[in-house]
Structure 1
Amino acid sequence: MKKKVWALGLALVMAAGMTACGGADGPEGKETNELQKVTVILDYVPNTNHTGLYAAKELGYYEDAGLDVEIVEPTDGVTPALVAAGKGDFGISYQEDVTYALAAKDPLPIKAVATVIQHNTSGFASYVGKNITSPKDFEGKTYTGWGSPGEEAVIHAVMEKYGADFSKLKMITSDGAGYEALKKDIDLMWMFWAWDGINSKRQGIDVNYMELRQLDPKLDYYTPVIIAKDSTLEQDSEMVKSFLAATSKGYEYAIENPDAAAEILHGYAESYDLDMLKESQEYLAGKYSEDSPVWGLMKDSVWTDYTDFMVENGLIEKAIPAADCYTNEFLPQ
C-alpha cells in the first residue's frame, strides 16, 4: 500500500527553517507554538474503521488542537503490547484483546478510551446456494478462520445455543483463498460486513449473513476501540482530551459526509477501489454512533457481558471489572 512518507522530510525542513530564523521565534520575533507530536498505531492496514482519524488529520482538526498526529501500521508486534511499551500514544485494538491483556499473568498497563463503532458488526457468512441460515446448519460444514481460542469459543457457544453439535464442524486455518472459496470447499467464514461483506457482494458472491449480536447479545462487544497507556492518561490528560475531541470531530465528519470521508481515506490507501470505500463508508456512517448520543461512548454492561462470556468459556480465569478496562472521562462532554 502506498503510504505518505513526506512527514519526516517536512519536519526536517521545518527544523532547518526554524534554525535559520533564530530558533523558536517567528519572523516578527514572536514565539511560535509547537505542535505536540502524537503517534497512533493502527490494528492493521488503513480501512474504513479508521476514516475518522484520517479525516481529523486531513481537515486540520488535530492541528487546531495543537497536535501533530502520525498514524502508523503495527510493524514489530501487536498494538496493545506496542502501546504498553510506549511505541505509540494511542492504538486501535479490540475489546477482547484489551481484556486478554489485562487478564494476563503480567497485565499490560492499557485502557480503552473510546469505541470506534457502537455495536459488533461482524458475523458468520456462507454462500446463499448452500442454504446455511442458522448455527444449527453448521453441523457437517467446513469453517475457515484465523485459529484463535476466542474464535473457537464463540462458534462453540452459538452452536450449542442453537442445539448444534460443535464436534461436527470442521475448522481449518484460512489460506487466504478469498470469498470465492465459499462457493467451493469452504462453507463458513467470519466476516466484518463493512469490509468483507461489501467486498464479497461487489465480487458477485451473495452470502447469508448471521450477525453475532443477533445470535447472542453477549457477543455484541466493542470492536474496534482506541486504547492508551495508563501513564499517558495520568500524566498527559489534556493531550488525551484534545486528541479525542479532534478524533470525535473526524468521525462526526465521516458520519455526515461519507463520500468525502472515503475520498480522504483513499488518499492514504490508494490501492483500494474508491467506489468500494464509499460503499463501506456509507454503511459505517450509520454504525459509528448507532444508539449512542455521542461517538466513542462505552457502557459497563457491554464490557461486563463479554468478560463474563470469556470466563464462562475458559478464555480467562477471572472477570476483569469494567472500570479497569475502559474510561469515558476523556471524551468530549
Structure 2
Amino acid sequence: MKRLLLLAVVAGVLAGCGEKSEPTGNEAPPLEPFTVMLDYVPNADHAGLYAALEAGLYEQAGLDVKLQPPPDPAAPLRLLAAGRADVAISYQPELLLARDQGEENIVSVGALVQKPLTSLMALPSGGVRTPKDLSGKRVATAGIPYQDAYLKTILKAAGVEANAVQTINVGFNLTQAMLSKRADASLGSFWNVEGVDLQRRDQKPVILRMEEIGVPTYNELIFVARRQDLDAAGASRLRRFLSTTAAGHRLLRKTPQAGVDALVKADKGLEPELLEAQIKATLPVFFPTVPAREDRAAPSLAPQRTGDLPWGWQEPVEWAAYERWMRAENLLTRPPSEASPVTNEFLPGEGLGQGSRG
C-alpha cells in the first residue's frame, strides 16, 4: 500500500531523470545487474538509494541494482578494484589514499554527500564550545590518520599547541567515550547520525563541522568506479544508475518517509523515528550548491555555469585544494597521477567537456 501511495510522487520525480521510454513489447528486456558496494551497513546516508530501489526506479531504468553492505568497512575499494562491484561508496580521502598506494585506475564518478559529515563533538560536561577550548582537554579519536591530521589543522587554526591536547584512540566508541567522561570531546562522529542521536537524547551536544573550523571542505561520500569498466556498455549502466539515484534523492526530498520505510525494510533493527530525523538532517548535503564566484574554478578547469548544478556534482577546485592539504600533511607521498581522481562526465546532463576533469 505504501508503495502504491508513492506512485504519484515518483511520476513527478522521474520527469527530471532524463531517461527515454523504451518501446513496449510482449516481453520486457532482461534487467542488467549492477552491484553497489556500500561503505557501511544501511543508514541515513543511503536513504536515497534505498528509496529508489523500493520505488522500482532502478528497474524502470533497466537495472537490477543490488545494494551490498561490505564485509568490513575497510573493504569497499579493495572489492571494487577486484571487480566485485560496479560501484563502491567510499570517502574522498580514502580514494586519494588508495590511488597514492597504486590503485590509479579507480575514479570518483559522483558525490553522494556533498559536505563533510565528520565533526568535532563535545557534551556540555566536556567544557568545549570552540576549538580554542581544546587546550588541556582529552579528545577521543578513531585512530584514522587523516582525521588525526584534521585535529592538527583545527588546533593550528585555533592557535592551540598540539601538545596541549591529549588524544585517546577509542576506535569507533566515540560517543561512549564522551558519555563516560573518558574524553572531553571526540573527533570522527558524524553530525547527521551520532549528533542527531545525542540531540534527541537531550544530551545537548556541541557540534563543530570540519569545513567551519579550518579543514578544507570535501565530499564525505562518493561513488567510485574502475576506469576499465567505463566502456560504452559500462558507461551506459553507470549513467542510468546515477541518473536514477538522483531521482531517488528527489523522491526522498519530497517524501522522506520513502527513505525511512525502505531502510527499515532492509534492516529491521533501525529505529524509524531516529532514522527520519537523521534523514531530514542529511537532506541539504545530498544536493550541491553553487559555490561563490570567487571560489569557482578558472575557465580552463570548469566552465562558468548558470542555474543548478547536477545532482552528484563534484567541484574540481575543492578536490584540488583538499588533495593539496593531504600532501601538505604528508598523507600522500607519490607524485600526482596524470589521471584525475574525479570526473563529472557521467552525471545527469553532463558529458565530455561539461565540467569533467578526468
Interval of TM-score (by shorter of Structure 1 and Structure 2) = 0.7 to 0.9
Q: d(CA) in 2 for partners of 1:240 and 1:120?
A: 25
Deviations 1:210-265 (A, max 9, x none): 1111112x531111011111111235111111111111111111122112322222
Structure with the higher fraction of residues in helix conformation: 1
The equivalent of 1:34 in structure 2 is: 30
Q: d(CA) in 2 for partners of 1:179 and 1:98?
A: 26
Contact kept, 8 Å, 1:179 with 1:205, in 2: the verdict is no
The equivalent of 1:63 in structure 2 is: 59
Shift of 1:177: 4.7
Shift of 1:131: 2.5
Alpha-carbon distance change, 268 to 133 in structure 1, aligned in 2, over 3 angstroms = same
Q: Secondary structure at the match of 1:120?
A: coil
Segments of 5+ residues of structure 1 without an aligned counterpart are 1-28
Q: Secondary structure at the match of 2:183?
A: coil
Within the candidate set 242, 248, 252, 2:250 is matched to 252
Alpha-carbon distance change, 35 to 279 in structure 1, aligned in 2, over 3 angstroms = same
The equivalent of 2:206 in structure 1 is: 208
Shift of 1:160: 1.2
Shift of 1:122: 2.4
Shift of 1:108: 4.3
Matched, 1:101 2:98: yes
Q: d(CA) in 1 for partners of 2:239 and 2:173?
A: 43
Q: d(CA) in 1 for partners of 2:41 and 2:318?
A: 27
Q: d(CA) in 2 for partners of 1:97 and 1:180?
A: 25
Within the candidate set 168, 182, 185, 1:172 is matched to 168
Which has the higher mean CA deviation after the structures are superposed, 132-141 or 168-177?
A: 168-177
Segments ≥4 residues shifted beyond 3 Å? 29-32, 175-178, 318-323
Shift of 1:89: 0.5
The equivalent of 2:116 in structure 1 is: 120
Q: Secondary structure at the match of 2:89?
A: strand
- % identity of equivalent residues: 27
Contact kept, 8 Å, 1:81 with 1:108, in 2: the verdict is no
Contact kept, 8 Å, 2:118 with 2:190, in 1: the verdict is yes
The equivalent of 2:88 in structure 1 is: 91
Give me the TM-score of the superposition, normalised by structure 2: 0.80
Shift of 1:103: 1.3
The equivalent of 1:325 in structure 2 is: 341
Alpha-carbon distance change, 42 to 148 in structure 1, aligned in 2, over 3 angstroms = same
Deviations 1:136-166 (A, max 9, x none): 2212211222102111111011101111011
Q: d(CA) in 2 for partners of 1:300 and 1:178?
A: 32
Contact kept, 8 Å, 1:308 with 1:319, in 2: the verdict is no
Shift of 1:318: 4.8
Contact kept, 8 Å, 1:99 with 1:320, in 2: the verdict is no
Matched, 1:181 2:197: no
Contact kept, 8 Å, 2:288 with 2:313, in 1: the verdict is no
Segments of 5+ residues of structure 2 without an aligned counterpart are 1-24, 291-307, 350-358
Q: For 1:154, give the aligned amino acid.
A: Y
Shift of 1:282: 1.0
The equivalent of 1:227 in structure 2 is: 224
Q: d(CA) in 2 for partners of 1:129 and 1:329?
A: 48
Within the candidate set 157, 161, 169, 1:161 is matched to 157
The equivalent of 1:276 in structure 2 is: 274
Contact kept, 8 Å, 1:142 with 1:188, in 2: the verdict is yes
Contact kept, 8 Å, 2:174 with 2:186, in 1: the verdict is no
Shift of 1:322: 9.4
The equivalent of 1:82 in structure 2 is: 79
